[in-house]
Amino acid sequence: MKDPETSMPSNFIRNIIEEDLKTNRHQGRVATRFPPEPNGYLHIGHAKSICLNFGLAADYNGTCNLRFDDTNPSKEDTEYVESIETDVRWLGFDWEDRLYYASDYFEKFHEYAVDLIKASKAYVCSLSPDQIREYRGTLTEPGKNSPFRNRSVEENLALFERMRAGEIDEGACVLRAKIDMASANLNLRDPVIFRIKHEAHHRTGSRWCIYPMYDYAHCISDALEGITHSICTLEFEDHRPLYDWCLDQLNVPCHPQQIEFARLNLSYTIMSKRKLLKLVQSGLVNGWDDPRMPTISGMRRRGYTPVSIRNFCERIGVAKRDSVVDLALLEYCVREDLNKIAPRVMAVLNPLRVVIENYPEDRVEMLDAVNNPEDPSMGIRQVPFSRVLFIEQDDFMEDPPKKYFRLAPGQEVRLRYAYYITCVNVIKNEAGDIVELRCVYDPESRGGTTADGRKVRGTLHWVSARHSISAEVRLYDRLFNRENPDAGGADFTEHLNPRSLEVLTECRMEPSLGAVEPGSRYQFERLGYFCAEPVEFSKDRPVFNRTVTLKDSWARIAQKG
């Protein structure tokens, strides 16, 4: 996928751009834009578009604008524009001074509409919404001309002026482009380009009561900004003739080329803004930034890094065929980054008390532990060891299967960076639950090795009971238990994974974890990558979110039996 000379991934959009550059099609410029509608939070699918648009600009020495496509006041809000700016910046992209709003062009849109009317290319149609639909025809039958299609320029101008002045009710009339009611492309059957909405806009307030439609506003916005390559998703392919038609009628600065690519689909995930909104509004998740959400803010809160998301977006490629990317690739990308940068630390999620019988009651040793074996520059730290410890409940089995090389009666294991221990007794309560393990340690094994060089297969993480802090850990898993939550007719909410969040409140951790920065990321050895809860973490109540587990080949072996 990489071109050996440039080391850039190859895709059809790059091919188009390179061809355009070669033929000097846009005066050798590359100008893209990311044009979100501020009606929801950005998700991983938007990240694909952001990486594409900003990435192309960066690679071809061009520019990428951030433009809010805010032409529908009923759905949009400043809360969303703020979150979008935050998320794009967090992903690592910079629009410099090129922050635009379609609403800044409202006056222009109006002027161009007047031009269209004067050229008899647009008319005010007084059909009702229902009638417009009837007149539009169907997929297989042509539409009929509106009875208002041949109003005079003067009448249209006057009516359009009255629309703008607020003298006409919503729905009573619209401005339509005069194209071809018999076109096989429904988008060309005299599309509405301005509608009346007596509604305040989050930026223009009550200055306007007519608002432009997407097809009309988007192409003009692109042209006004000097965009060369207007990249959008596949469903707009049918709209391209309209995009081109508008620009061809108008005296605009340039004519950008629209290029469509397939939007991202991810297994076990939904990407529709409407459905994500439903999850939020119904309380099925805790807001747009719930760590289970595929939103940028949710992933940030979950512990994902910008680097990992950018790498993911590069690896999935760009093409025109509908596809569903395996969630495993996303997880691979976070692990890859976190493996390099996350300090290792020991935390016990489900503590099991271990008493080292031959270790002195009052003794405490500070043992050296490596912060990151992948990066020696991250140094070492000291962890306290004492007679009473906690290990993971999963790391002990009274009657272990073959190939289980963790702790079991009579079986020797290594406590990471500490000593070899052997279990000599198992203490249970009346219910038969294991409540404590009695072990003995080998004083000669300090640090985790012995002079005799004997092999110990299992290495466990642990924490000194007396020195550990207690903390809450939120184990996040995929939100849906179906690869395609939308398949099979049933409502997608029926496929929610009931175990997408498990909260553990009795976890015990290395003391240093009590005072870390919210949002900071760690590898809990042998368990996974976790981050200090970005908004709720406090010294009084440490909370960690699991970003992703470590690969667990033991789980695979154990499952096979």
Partner RNA sequence: UGGGGCGUCGUCAAGCGGUAAGACACAGGAUUUUGGUUCCUGCAUCCGGAGGUUCGAAUCCUCCCGCCCCAGCCA
Q: Closest distance between RNA and the C-beta of residue 127, in Å?
A: 6
Q: Closest distance between RNA and the C-beta of residue 538, in Å?
A: 27
Which stretches of 27-71 are DSSP H helices? Answer: 44-59
> Catalytic residue at 273?
yes
Q: Closest distance between RNA and the C-beta of residue 540, in Å?
A: 28
Q: Closest distance between RNA and the C-beta of residue 553, in Å?
A: 3
Distances (CA, A) of 288 to 116, 280, 285, 291, 547: 41, 6, 8, 9, 17
Q: Closest distance between RNA and the C-beta of residue 286, in Å?
A: 26
Nearest to 16 by CA among 263, 318, 259: 259
Q: Between 19 and 357, name the residue whose CB sits nearer to RNA.
A: 19
Residue 240: phi and psi, rounded to 5, are: -60, -40
Q: Between 251 and 553, name the residue whose CB sits nearer to RNA.
A: 553
**How many DSSP H helices and E strands does the chain contain?**
13, 25
Q: Between 29 and 414, name the residue whose CB sits nearer to RNA.
A: 414
Q: Closest distance between RNA and the C-beta of residue 430, in Å?
A: 29
Q: Closest distance between RNA and the C-beta of residue 165, in Å?
A: 17
Half-sphere exposure of 184 (CA within 13 A, CB side): 0
Residues 6+ apart with CB under 8 A from 437: 352, 353, 354, 355, 391, 396, 407, 423, 425, 426, 427
Q: Choosing from 14, 29, 33, 37, which is the catalytic residue?
A: 37
Structure tokens at 205: 């307030």
Which stretches of 401-494 are assigned E, i.e. beta strand? 412-415, 420-428, 434-442, 459-460, 462-464, 469-476
Which stretches of 45-95 are assigned E, i.e. beta strand? 63-68
Q: DSSP assignment, residue 440? A: E
Q: Closest distance between RNA and the C-beta of residue 177, in Å?
A: 11
**Spatial distance between the Cα atoms of 518 and 521, rounded to a whole number of angstroms:** 9
The residue behind tokens 């033991």 is 554
Residues 6+ apart with CB under 8 A from 9: 1, 2, 3, 314, 317
> Catalytic residue at 75?
no
**Spatial distance between the Cα atoms of 361 and 89, rounded to a whole number of angstroms:** 53
Q: Between 26 and 46, name the residue whose CB sits nearer to RNA.
A: 46
Q: Between 296 and 338, name the residue whose CB sits nearer to RNA.
A: 338
**Spatial distance between the Cα atoms of 90 and 100, rounded to a whole number of angstroms:** 19
- Check: CB of residue 366 under 8 Å from CB of residue 399: no
Q: Closest distance between RNA and the C-beta of residue 359, in Å?
A: 17
Full strand arrangement of the beta sheet holding 501-509? 344-345, 521-524, 528-532, 543-549, 469-476, 501-509, 347-348
- Check: CB of residue 38 under 8 Å from CB of residue 68: yes
Q: Between 403 and 539, name the residue whose CB sits nearer to RNA.
A: 403
Q: Between 181 and 355, name the residue whose CB sits nearer to RNA.
A: 181
SS3 letters across 282-316: CCCCCCCCCCCCCEHHHHHHHCCCHHHHHHHHHHH
Q: Crossing angle, helix 214-224 and helix 106-118, to 10 degrees?
A: 110
Q: Choosing from 273, 292, 301, 335, which is the catalytic residue?
A: 273
Angular region, 331: left φ>0, alpha ψ -120 to 50, beta rest: alpha
Structure tokens at 452: 């005799």
**Spatial distance between the Cα atoms of 411 and 3, rounded to a whole number of angstroms:** 54
How far, in whole angstroms, is CA 158 from its chain's centroid?
A: 47
Q: Which residues are catalytic?
A: 37, 263, 273
